[in-house]
A = this chain, B = another copy of it.
């Protein structure tokens, strides 16, 4: 296996992260790259979801992945096994990424010629939701063992997300998780959220999720050429 590039991010204190994020989003749109920000609690299965997503899409899309963590490179090493371009970003203790940090990562990844770039944000249901990374799509993962009440307790995360994956569906029989209650709680926070029950372990549910990503990508390319 190739050695993983580890990028030590510099903390930014930009006066206006929202303006910076808009500018990055526009830059990515011009380049025709769908940039997806994946957020969740620690251990919800962000990396496993990415690996299944890559398996479904890598024959049709050129994919790059930025793995953000406070420490370690275990996630980027797992992603690199799928054969796609991956870098590990270290946040220097920071609990989230902002637009400038995500730009530093994109430069390190080298996004030329890519169709899809995924950012695996720091595992945290609070702070990452407060900072626009410049991504075109915000996606949250809620895992079945975490319970169906999380959208009630972490409102902003579910409000800012375009899509929510409910992962570890294969563990449903052993946990007190009511899918309909989770769905209602998510839609109360964001009525337009797209919800995809999946299992990264079994591959269940990845068809509709990857089709959703593909539609978003085609739409972005259409706008670019339109």
Contacts and interface: CB of A to CB of B under 8 A. Distances in A.
Nearest to A73: B152
A226 interface: no
B74 A42 contact: no
Contacts of A43: 41, 143, 145-147, 150
Contacts of A149: 72, 74
Majority secondary structure, A binding face: loop
B70 A154 contact: yes
Contacts of A93: 130, 156
A44 to B, nearest CB: 8
A104 interface: no
Interface stretch (A19-27, A51-59, A120-128, A206-214): A120-128
Chain B CB within 10 Å, residue with most, of A72, A93, A168: A72
Interface string A6-29: 000000000000000000000000
Interface in A37-67: 41-44
Contacts of A156: 70, 93
A71 interface: yes
A168 B43 CA distance: 13
A206 to B, nearest CB: 19
Given A41-B41, A146-B42, A171-B171, A123 B153 contact: yes
A179 interface: no
Given A41-B42, A69-B153, A145-B168, 18 more contacts: A41-B41, A41-B43, A41-B146, A42-B153, A43-B147, A70-B153, A71-B154, A74-B152, A74-B153, A93-B130, A95-B95, A95-B124, A95-B127, A122-B126, A124-B126, A126-B127, A145-B145, A171-B171
- The 3 tightest CB contacts between A and B, nearest first, are A43-B146, A95-B126, A145-B145
